[in-house]
Amino acid sequence: MALLNIRPATVADAGLILRFIRELAIYEKAEQSVQTDEIGIAESLFGADATACALVCEANGEAIGYAVYFYNYSTWLGRKGIYLEDLYVSPEKRGSGAGKALLKYIARQAVAEGCGRFEWSVLDWNTPAIEFYTAAGARPQDEWTVYRLEGEALKAFAG
């Protein structure tokens, strides 16, 4: 049994996090969507204006996964919440408890900080992730559809 350790990521982890992001993008069939680099990760996660947080999960000293999250807000609850942007464990290390440990780490933080919600999105075809989250007690919010403005559409609308 591997000894798992979850720790807050540091700027020195920017390259590692980028590697995990690329691995996740490949798994999600969206490798071409990764447009950042190590400098972008370092600035966005660890710079003065950073609004997201990152964790690294290690097994026996080896980095095997990561999570990135940020705070959101519910007007209905009148409380902040946590939104999980990424949760990833290297394929050969899945089943080790690392994903559950990362999820629990953030859930404990949400409870300790009085957050009203802990939520995330999952691709509808990602059955292993859906089963993992359902087993943790999470429930899908089927009545909501995510909308996005990005790239040229965002610029055009803003103009």
Long-range contacts of 65-71 (CB under 8 A, 24+ apart): 65/20, 65/89, 65/90, 65/93, 65/98, 65/99, 65/102, 66/9, 66/13, 66/16, 66/17, 66/20, 66/102, 67/102, 67/103, 67/105, 67/106, 68/17, 69/106, 71/115
Question: Known catalytic residue: 133?
Answer: yes
Predicted pLDDT of residue 154: 97
Query: Which of the residues 66, 88, 105, 133 is marked catalytic?
Result: 133
Predicted pLDDT of residue 2: 75
Q: Which of 70, 64, 83 is nearest to 20 (CA)?
A: 64
Predicted pLDDT of residue 40: 97
Predicted pLDDT of residue 137: 95
Per-residue confidence of the chain (159 residues) as pLDDT tens digits?
A: 679 999 999 999 999 999 999 999 999 999 999 999 999 999 999 999 999 999 999 999 999 999 999 999 999 999 999 999 999 999 999 999 999 999 999 999 999 999 999 999 999 999 999 999 999 999 999 898 899 999 999 999 999
Q: Which two tokens mark 94? A: 């899945």
Instruction: Let me know: does 47 contact 29? Beta carbons within 8 Å.
Output: no
What is the C-alpha separation between 121 and 84, in angstroms, rounded? 8
Instruction: Let me know: does 88 contact 66? Beta carbons within 8 Å.
Output: yes
What is the C-alpha separation between 129 and 122, in angstroms, rounded? 7
| pTM of the entire predicted model | 0.94
